[in-house]
Structure 1
Amino acid sequence: MLHSDATAQECAAAAKTLTTSCDNLCGEYQPCIAFNSSECPSSSSSSSSPSISGDCVADASDVCEYACFEAFGKNNTEPEQFLFIVPYDEEGAAAMNEGYAAAYNDVVSSVGQLTVSPQTTYVWIQGGGGYEQIDMGKVVTLNLATNLLTTQTQVTGVGLTAMNLTDQIADIPGLVPSSTATLSLSNTLVTSFKGSFPNLTELYLQNNSLSTIPATIFTFENLTKLSITGNPLAIRTFTSSQIAFLQNISLDVTEDDFVLTMDDLDCGQANQQTIGDNNITVCVSDVSGGSGGSGGSGGSSSSDTTASSSNSHVVVIVVPILVAIVVLAAIIGVIFYRKRRAVGKYATLGSTAHNSSDKSGDTSLWNDAQMLAMQVNLDEIQDVRLIGSGAFGVVWLVKYRQTQLLASKRLRQEMATHGRTEAFVEEIKLVAGFDHPNIVGLVGVAWSISSDLQALFEYVENGDLRSHLAASPAPSNWTQETFQLAIDVIEALVYVHSFDPPLVHRDLKSRNVLITGEIRAKLTDFGIARFRSADKTMTTGVGTSRWLAPEVISGSNDYDQSADLFSFGVVLSELDTHAIPYEDAVGPRGNALQDVAILQMVATGSLRPTFRSSCPPAVRELAMRCMSQDPGARPKAPEVAYALRTAMKSLS
């Protein structure tokens, strides 16, 4: 019998939270929900549609009542399973009559830390109706404790399904135990998935909003099964290493899951392979040395220290009268061979030889206070796979402290001369001072000797903008996503152009813009960025050819941030057409123009990238202003950012 005189007091434990801390009133390891006295909606009450499947027990003070649930499988007969169902509503309350532990969403809104039986190896918490009866896109709202099952290392299987996890997806690696071998996050509305799951063998992500197979999956060395059906997969191009990975597992994906058909892709027969249990044809694209293509492997783009294998840096000098144009496309990075001098506050390396493994004989980095302040333990970095390769450097996907995925940028061992290492350190010190959401962040540095120096950047999982655009045809009209990507890039330029003295990126292009899992843009690769010196001189002819401003092509050393704005105008053309700049440019005989001819015409102002007729007029006009022949006529970055935000608002 419950005592009515206790109803005036509040139960401190009452919080609509499912927990196994039940004041020793429920069965061992059985979960409960605490209520104020007399407020517990017992399943044994006279109600024709009880909101819980458990019975209520009062504590000694009669202040709290606990609804106790028998959660060991159906009818509490399977101690190796912990099952709890949160029905959407009364219409979906089949679980109430099927022998499973259950409570309506208006009764339970959170799940606290759970301690389950040593015999329990499988934990399943589900929204919906009956067990494993799920309506795609229909979810309940549950707030999961960040330590939900962290300590329950006997658990090897976890299911969190039919609940909205969009705001909690980043917490999943920490709230499930490291022993998790099977993980189901089906029908949870998630748009991304990342994290380290060292023992994962089976992963179920079906019926979500993923636009690509998440890049982190390719790091799961023990994975044997992946189900990703029911997602709108916009990327159908993968690197050969990614395809080999997918062919080595049981992959549940169908033709209907891909937004693009093979007919939508420019993919020759020789570049086609099949993946999955249903033999789905996909395209192979070995960008950046065999990984990092449209399949979303991400990583840090390249520059003078890590030149992109698919877009070589080109030295271009056009004499003022344009009698001759010298394009040294086959000799990558000649201008980077010279030593760089550190500028302003950035210290230079010493002259010590780099090939000694003895720290006492390799003093340059070990005596550099700024580098030492950024140093992390080399032993805590584990190489996962190569994701980028260029003439002078490589980028590896690494795990830091077994949990965090990072992009590790390094010089090739045979290229680690004193001059190149010095330039690499200069780049590291430059980006170390950056703090902006649209610039790829530096996490730290590591080395044993100077020649094996590596810079650790945040890992951006969806690859670069060029690959992102190439993976799908341009939409008929500009979308919020297109505008947002453009705004992200220009906001990064607003930031870097605000430095004093002025900073010029000098190599803005779609390959140097990385795309996050949320389809936001981050600028990277500041390897040839420079502060403009007091005498207003800059190195001539740097950057990548098709994005260069006329004054840079012509060999001028008197250029400023407006050169970046010209490059941004070219990027706007890519966002509009999804095509490589000047790809449609043809000569008098209808043949495709070569780079030499393109650069000559750009330098003289007779050629600019094309835009589609459906491009918003405000965007096309803005892009053409950015690509003005006269650098002084180009708008400043803040003006461009404002104009793009105004244009985006017009969509709504």
Structure 2
Amino acid sequence: MSCASDNVMTTCAACDAGVPCLRYSTASTCAPVRGGVCVTPAGDCPYQCYPSAISNGVWQFTYKNDPKTTDNGGYGPLGLIKNYTVPSSVSTVKVSGGPNAGVGGNPLKIISSWDTAFLGSSVSAIALDGLNLMSSYPTVPATVTDVTIANCQLTAVPAWALSSSLAVLALPNNKLEKLPAIGSSPYEKLANLKNLDLSRNALSTFELQLKNLQALDLSNNQFTTIPSAVYSLSGLASLNLDGNPLSGAVSKEQFAVLNGIATLKLPAVTGSCPSSSGLQTTTTSGNSICVVGASSSSSTGLIVGIVAGVAVLLAAIGGFFWYRKRRAASAVPETTFNDFEPSYPLPGSRRRQPTDVDLRGSSASTNPGKTLVRGRGSSNNVMSNNSPVYKDLLLQTRSNQTHQRSSIVLQSALNPAIATLDENDMVYTRTLGKGAKGVVWLASYAGDVVAVKKMVQTAPDTDRQEALCNLVAEANLLLTLRHAHIIQLIGVVTDRVNEIAVVLEYMDLGDLREMLMKKKPSPTFDWTSYKGTYALHVAKGLAYLHGKNPPLIHRDIKARNILVDSQKGAKICDFGESRLRSYQETMTSNVGTARWIAPEVLLNDDYSEKADIYSFGVLLSELDTHDVPYSDINLDERVIVQRVAVGQLRPKFSATCPEKLRRLANHCMQADPALRPDANKVAASLADLLESN
């Protein structure tokens, strides 16, 4: 029997049902990988089964030039697809070309022929990466609602990938210069899009009118102004234009639209604003924008961002000391603490474990008739988003034999924009939660119910110092966060020279873990009501955090760190483990709670905001079963963590869990972070689920 001139992915009788089989052109090209073995039958072509290509309801077959025995299975040199259909249990398919040559790189793999029935009728999401799709491409069924085509050198939006059922379209890292014309057939098929990613292309215009669009990524293109079509996208909740050479000014009406977008990323203003315009800052995302008719003392100067590096840090410290000298208030006796860590970690810093407190709390309002005292001496009201955001500063550092130590002054460490509340006006009612180093009190201030996070008075000095540093860091971070599903900072109480208490909004239903322990699954507490709503709220909160520049990683997403309220829904709390993403700062293991942590973190690998997405998938299992993950398994904690780290163990779901939720959770808990959806896609999926019920 003569073999094909190229390697064929097909169906072989010797392979289990649904398992892809690769028939090789010659025996020399068959290299066995983990989970498979090369077979050369007499008078037939060599082949290999790929059982590991199907896992957790997600199918992947990745092309590589040089598959090795150390590969994790599912890899093979693929030339064409014939007589093979993806199993009906599969919802997501990814096919990647290789080798990875970077954005728009060569060579791109050509699959000369795709079986028309390849994707079947059950697939809802496909991802194609590093492929030459100019002359040959798959047939996309109408069931597909999520399409990603990345790094394929596309110069136009491929009509073959579009359908009216499409909700998510991602075309990053291509060479797009234009989009479908309004009124054209491809344009009409985009009508139901909710998430559109066109990042890293060559676009300079955007005229699409997509009334259902919720998230739009136009970053790293060639836009010189914000496209006018953006202002008519009334449902837009996320817009990314970072990495574009934007210039000019917007009108006050346009600024109002931008100010209403929950997650907004714009490039920093690097020069002076045009005449008759000035800088204004959006309240939701902190972007500075030149606005026609606005007055700004900075409109004729340069706006300089805080950038990682020694020079900028020294400049910030010098500016801070100058600011301190100008203070009219008398100096407060200094208290020294060791091992302080800022809320925005410096490169190479390591985060301490958070104060062990079960926070139950929140009500965002403060009595308008009550004057809030601005931090350390000023009587102005604060909490304004126009207030300057100071990074935490290490005022004095020294080294010993083991590690860097930093001495800080409490009054200097706290962001001066944080409201300082009068201790005498705080009425404590009862404790809501208590740990070894901290306690949360239910209290009232100026007639409003609040939650107050304090240190335990009887804790050892070293623990108290660490708890104090964590409180300062968390307060400074919370000051910069403004979102409906992130716990809100009200202010701080400095009842002693060397102590603070953080005042937060009160959430009347406590934390989600406690609620799940008290309630049983029922028609009034299921995915179509409270569970789905709470999950959606958390996803939106994560989308906001990950939309920061750089992304903010919470690192400890679990039911215990989600607060719920009868009116406000769910909010993410406990930012003691949060940090901004950078390579040095993500090489830290042993953070958060191990059963919720992503494998890459457990393995001490570099990780990104996708680690939060994994934890969110575990959280979905909590919502489904009402139990902590792996509570049904009688294994030592170390064994559980080891199996999670190598992908051998994932949380289970109940028999009544909706299949869409199960698929979404498994998608979030992919071993490969690159295969996990971003928070915006997760939120869109949950919103669709709620709308369909």
TM-score higher than 0.5: no
User: Normalized against structure 1, the TM-score is what?
Assistant: 0.43
User: Normalized against structure 2, the TM-score is what?
Assistant: 0.41
